[in-house]
Chains A and B, each alone.
Chain A
Amino acid sequence: KAGVTQTPRYLIKTRGQQVTLSCSPISGHRSVSWYQQTPGQGLQFLFEYFSETQRNKGNFPGRFSGRQFSNSRSEMNVSTLELGDSALYLCASSLDGTGVDTQYFGPGTRLTVL
């Protein structure tokens, strides 16, 4: 079974631009979560989608948004990029996102904001 895939793997943008990242979950998985990983803050939860609905949200500004499609693929968007948005963005999928569900991570998208 194919794993979680993320595209693109690397991105370079400038301040003020916007960016869209894509995540395809493991086949059959309906929950997709997004995380931001930086050396200073570690892995931080952004949001989780299930059946095209955002079910949970972390403490990030409204510039960070996402959506999920009927095939469970998910996208996240960051508008008006800031230097501090440079990070590794990881998505993780799980069957239904319940408390005991295991999340499987994709390879990540490395975003650099100049």
Chain B
Amino acid sequence: QKEVEQNSGPLSVPEGAIASLNCTYSDRGSQSFFWYRQYSGKSPELIMSIYSNGDKEDGRFTAQLNKASQYVSLLIRDSQPSDSATYLCAVNPTYSSASKIIFGSGTRLSIRP
């Protein structure tokens, strides 16, 4: 079992709709969760971080965390063509250790006009 799993996609969503990206992780003790966006040929950029169960909203983005189900998701409202990218879910398996972020393989999102 991979430590961080994502559906590779591609996920095709019409412009203006909600895109839902999902991620599961294996280490039940994980405390820190991140969503990065990566455009083709570019480096990852942080979109959201979440540490507590529940929802965290930032503009059109909402991260959702459910530690009991070991599940984290990212919702993108009012999807725009510029949202077309690969979205990487990342998990830091322990709270206080040095950085060793584990990344999922990413979900390719395509927003169709």
Q: B100: which of A48, A90, A104 is its contact (CB, 8 Å)?
A: A48
- Distance of B19 from chain A, by nearest CB (Å): 20
B26 at the interface (CB under 8 A from A): no
- Which residue on A lies nearest to B49, using beta carbons? A102
A-B contact count (CB 8 A): 71
Interface range, B side: 20 to 34
Knowing A42-B106, A90-B43, A105-B44, the reply to whether A56 touches B95 (Cβ < 8 A) is no
- Judge whether B99 and A94 touch: CB under 8 Å: yes
Q: Give CA–CA (A103, B45) in the complex, Å.
A: 9
A58-93 residues with Cβ-Cβ distance < 8 A to B are: 58, 88, 90, 92
Residues of chain A with a CB closer than 8 A to B88's CB: 43
B22 at the interface (CB under 8 A from A): no
- Judge whether B95 and A99 touch: CB under 8 Å: yes
- Judge whether B43 and A45 touch: CB under 8 Å: no
- Judge whether B45 and A97 touch: CB under 8 Å: no
Against A, the Cβ 8 Å flags (1 = close, 0 = not) of B20-51 are: 00000000000110101000001111100101
Chain A residues engaging chain B, CB cutoff 8 angstroms? 31, 33, 35, 42-45, 48, 50, 55-56, 58, 88, 90, 92, 94, 97-108
Chain B residues engaging chain A, CB cutoff 8 angstroms? 31-32, 34, 36, 42-46, 49, 51, 88, 92, 94-106
Between A and B, 22 residue pairs with Cβ closer than 8 Å are A31-B99, A35-B103, A42-B103, A42-B105, A43-B44, A43-B103, A44-B103, A45-B100, A48-B98, A48-B100, A97-B98, A97-B99, A98-B95, A98-B99, A99-B31, A99-B95, A102-B34, A103-B99, A104-B46, A105-B36, A105-B45, A107-B42
